[in-house]
Structure 1
């Protein structure tokens, strides 16, 4: 393989990765903590919304609500990261290239 072919392949992969980044920014996942707290996260790992069921709002038990929110956010971020990882492996052929996302 010559250097020109390697450069072309690198440029093609870079273009595919740029397209994938834009596509992933539009994708969303939703996670829930016991159905009481729901979180939407996009492929950039940005939390888009948090919905809290009125039934779980108890001024005497704020700690439980905080735990539900934390759980839902962490699950949403994990699902988003998994979605990105899966999409990236299709473009990179399974190679783990640090720092891409």
Structure 2
């Protein structure tokens, strides 16, 4: 009977993970960093990038640095949301990889 209970719990956990995966994919975050706008979902999938015209007149190196910083900021925000969702699933228990 124990094996049956473990299998049922595993299936329940799989269902919860799939639900969280869908919620993360559908949760779109708007991040703005020094005029650069990025849309990213909470699964770290980038959806759009908008660089304002005035920035395109800057030196290439400056634009590249600003875009990288904007992507880093967007990733941090998405990771934060992902971490909060994982806490809900695990009840705050630390699980490597989540």
TM-score per shorter chain, which class?
Answer: 0.7 to 0.9
Unaligned 5+ segments in structure 1 are none
- 1:97 paired with 2:87, answer no
User: Whole-Å Cα distance in 2 between the matches of residues 91 and 76 of structure 1?
Assistant: 23
- The alignment's TM-score, normalised by the length of structure 2, stands at 0.85
In the alignment, which residue of structure 1 is the partner of 2:54? Answer: 55
User: Whole-Å Cα distance in 2 between the matches of residues 64 and 30 of structure 1?
Assistant: 22
Structure 1 stretches of at least 4 aligned residues deviating more than 4 Å after TM superposition: none
CA RMSD of aligned residues (A): 1.7
Q: Determine which structure has greater relative contact order: mean sequence separation of CA pairs < 8 Å that are 6+ residues apart, divided by chain length.
A: 1
Deviation at 1:3, TM superposition (A): 4.4
User: Whole-Å Cα distance in 2 between the matches of residues 12 and 33 of structure 1?
Assistant: 40
Q: Between Structure 1 and Structure 2, how many residues are aligned?
A: 97
- 1:13 paired with 2:10, answer no
Unaligned 5+ segments in structure 2 are none
For 1:76, which of 74, 77, 89 is the aligned residue?
Answer: 74
Deviation at 1:93, TM superposition (A): 0.8
- The alignment's TM-score, normalised by the length of structure 1, stands at 0.83
User: Whole-Å Cα distance in 1 between the matches of residues 44 and 3 of structure 2?
Assistant: 36
CA distances 1:61-87 after superposition (whole Å, capped 9, x unpaired):
111111111111111111111111101
Deviation at 1:44, TM superposition (A): 2.0
Q: Is the 8 A contact 1:33 1:72 kept in 2?
A: yes
User: Whole-Å Cα distance in 2 between the matches of residues 80 and 87 of structure 1?
Assistant: 11
Larger proportion of helix:
2
